[in-house]
């Protein structure tokens, strides 16, 4: 699949962008995926979908898409709107195999995608300017794999990389289009909030006291 990945182009005027994130309940061996669809440029929520799945793939560094992908794909399948762009709280091309979750799922769905991670997985970069929109290329083994991007002045960079059907500079432009008042672009920020809520609600619903209460009813 990596050989068929397209790392160029990208939507010039996307109207709908979806952000996806995953949380785990390690005690129950479950994971929760949330997908939030926003419109551009307003960044208003259009739709939200979620899914819960058993975790069937072990944690293996570099193979996150096999662990989280089934839940994310299930949530995406429940959307009524087809997004023009997918954003993942994960890496795309900035990956040891150049095929992180954002690339893998973008390729499987054949939808333009980018990774927007909070930390570096591979590569190094130089200094990033202080102003919003400043960036430095992320380089691994002599190859450009992504960029450290300052989304807002005075905040730490996020790490942007193409997934599928998006080029490097286009990935930066698209990420900045989705930035609101916070460091992390709104689609993945809201997906993170939603998936944390899912996890809390599931914990309450599956607490021993809640189970006993349901049995009495």
DSSP assignment of 84-122: SEEEESS-SSSSTTS--HHHHHHHHHT--EEEEESS-SS
Q: How many residues does the chain have?
A: 217
Rounded CA-CA distance 115/163 in Å is 6
Q: Check pLDDT > 80 for residue 215.
A: no
What is residue 104's three-state secondary structure? helix
Q: How confident is the model at residue 149 (pLDDT cuts 50, 70, 90)?
A: very high
Q: Measuring CA to CA, which residue among 133, 15, 3 is closest to residue 83?
A: 15
Q: Residue ranges of the domains in the chain? A: 2-207
pLDDT score of 120: 96
DSSP symbols for 201-212: HHHHHTSHHHHH
pLDDT score of 209: 62
pLDDT score of 206: 81
Q: Check pLDDT > 90 for residue 213.
A: no
Q: Check pLDDT > 90 for residue 142.
A: yes
**2-207 in CATH: which number?**
3.30.2170.10
pLDDT score of 208: 72
Rounded to two decimals, the pTM is 0.91
Tell me: the pLDDT tens digits for 89-134?
999 999 999 999 999 999 999 999 999 999 999 999 999 999 999 9
């Amino acid at each position: 699949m990596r050989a068929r990945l397209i790392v160029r182009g990208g939507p010039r005027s996307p109207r709908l962008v979806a952000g996806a994130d995953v949380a785990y309940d390690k005690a129950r061996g479950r994971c929760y995926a949330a997908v939030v669809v926003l419109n551009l440029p307003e960044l208003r929520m259009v739709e939200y979908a979620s899914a819960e799945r058993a975790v069937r793939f072990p944690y293996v560094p570099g193979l996150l898409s096999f662990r989280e992908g089934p839940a994310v794909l299930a949530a995406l399948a429940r959307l009524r709107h087809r997004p023009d762009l997918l954003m993942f709280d994960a890496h795309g091309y900035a990956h040891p195999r150049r095929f992180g979750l954002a690339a893998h799922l973008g390729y499987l769905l054949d939808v333009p995608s980018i990774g927007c991670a909070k930390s570096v997985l591979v590569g190094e970069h130089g200094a990033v300017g202080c102003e919003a929109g400043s960036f430095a290329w992320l380089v691994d083994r002599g190859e450009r794999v992504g960029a450290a991007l300052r989304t807002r002045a005075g905040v730490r960079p996020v790490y942007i990389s193409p997934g599928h059907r998006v080029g490097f500079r286009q990935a930066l432009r698209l990420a900045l289009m989705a930035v609101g008042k916070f460091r992390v672009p709104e689609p993945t920020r809201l997906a993170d909030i939603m998936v944390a809520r899912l996890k809390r609600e599931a914990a309450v619903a599956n607490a021993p006291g809640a189970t006993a209460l349901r049995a009495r009813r």
